Amino acid sequence: MNLRPSKIDLGVSDDKLYTPEVGSWAEDKYRLFWCYADLFATSMKEKWDQRVYIDLFAGAGHSHVEETDRCLLGTPLLALRVAHTFDWYIFCDQDPHCISALRKRVETMRPTAEVRYIPGNVNRITSYILEEMPPLAPGKKVLGFCFADPFRLRDLHFSTIKTLAQRYMDFMVLIPAMDPLRNEMIYLDPSSDVVDLFVGTPSWREEWRKKQKEITFDTFIASFFSSRMSHLNYTHGGLEDSLLVRSSEKNLSL
C-alpha cells in the first residue's frame, strides 16, 4: 500500500473543551489516516448506497501535542472532512469526557451530519454499534469503514472485530508496538490472556515458540493478527502491506 501523507492542515485552535495529550508522532498517524479515509470514501462513493464510518476509540476530536502549544484534529473530525463525506458516522469511546467534547465539536463543525455516539468499552458495546448502523434493506448496499486505534492490546478484542465483520466492513487497525515490547514477559506468562483476546486464539503461543528467534514480539503480534484476519475472509499482504509509524523523538516503532 503506497500512501503518502496529505497536505491537509491538521492544526486547530484551542476551543477550551476537553483535549487529551498525544505525542508529536500523532501528526504523522493522523495524516496517514486521513489519506486512507479520503481514498476509501471517494472510491466507494459510487459503489455503495451508504458508507458508514466507525471509530472505536474516537477520543475528543482534538488532541494536544505534549510539550507544545499545538492542537490537532483527531480522527473523527478528520473523517468528517474527507472530500466525499461518509453518509453515517458512529463514534465510540469509553471516556465520557471525550464523548461530551466530541459531540460539541461535531455539532460546531458539521451540525447536519448523521452521527451516533456510543459510550463504553468497545468490547462490550459491539451489538449496539451494529444496531446503530443503517438497517439492511433489499437493494440497499451499506459498507462500513471501521477504524481502531487501541492504546494497548488489552483495549481491543478480536471477538469485537469478528462481530462487526458480520456486516460488509473494511478495517483499519493500528497495532500498538510499544505495548507488547514493554510487556513481553507479562504477556508471555501463561496466566495472561491479553494476546489471546487480541488475536482471538491461544494458538499464537505455539507460533511464537517457532519464530521468536527470527522476529521481535511486536512484529510477530502484527503478523499473527493479519493472519487471523484472513480467517474472516479478509485479504491482507502481511507486514509488507502495513505501514510503520515511528516516534519523532527516538525513532521507535509505535
What are the strands of the beta sheet with 50-55, ordered from one edge?
115-119, 88-93, 50-55, 142-148, 169-173
**Region 47-62: what's the mean pLDDT?**
97
Task: Please provide the average confidence, as pLDDT, over all residues in the chain.
Answer: 91
**Region 104-117: what's the mean pLDDT?**
97
In the listed set 140, 174, 208, which residue is the last one of a domain according to the structure? Answer: 174
Number of domains, the chain = 2
Quote the CA–CA distance of 17 and 14 in Å, as a whole number: 8
Burial of 231 (0-12, 13-18, 19+ CB in 10 A): exposed
- This prediction has a pTM of 0.91
State whether 77 and 164 are in the same domain. Answer: yes
Q: pLDDT digit string (tens) for 64-91?
A: 999 999 999 999 999 999 999 999 999 9
State whether 202 and 157 are in the same domain. Answer: no
What are the strands of the beta sheet with 71-73, ordered from one edge?
11-12, 71-73, 62-65, 21-22
The pLDDT confidence band at residue 55, using thresholds 50, 70 and 90, is very high
In the listed set 174, 196, 211, which residue is the last one of a domain according to the structure? Answer: 174
**Region 202-219: what's the mean pLDDT?**
95
The pLDDT confidence band at residue 51, using thresholds 50, 70 and 90, is very high
Quote the CA–CA distance of 223 and 219 in Å, as a whole number: 6
The pLDDT confidence band at residue 241, using thresholds 50, 70 and 90, is low
Q: What is the pLDDT of residue 253?
A: 43
State whether 132 and 200 are in the same domain. Answer: no
The pLDDT confidence band at residue 177, using thresholds 50, 70 and 90, is confident
State whether 207 and 115 are in the same domain. Answer: no
- Asked whether residue 227 carries a pLDDT value surpassing 50, the answer given is yes
Q: What is the pLDDT of residue 139?
A: 87
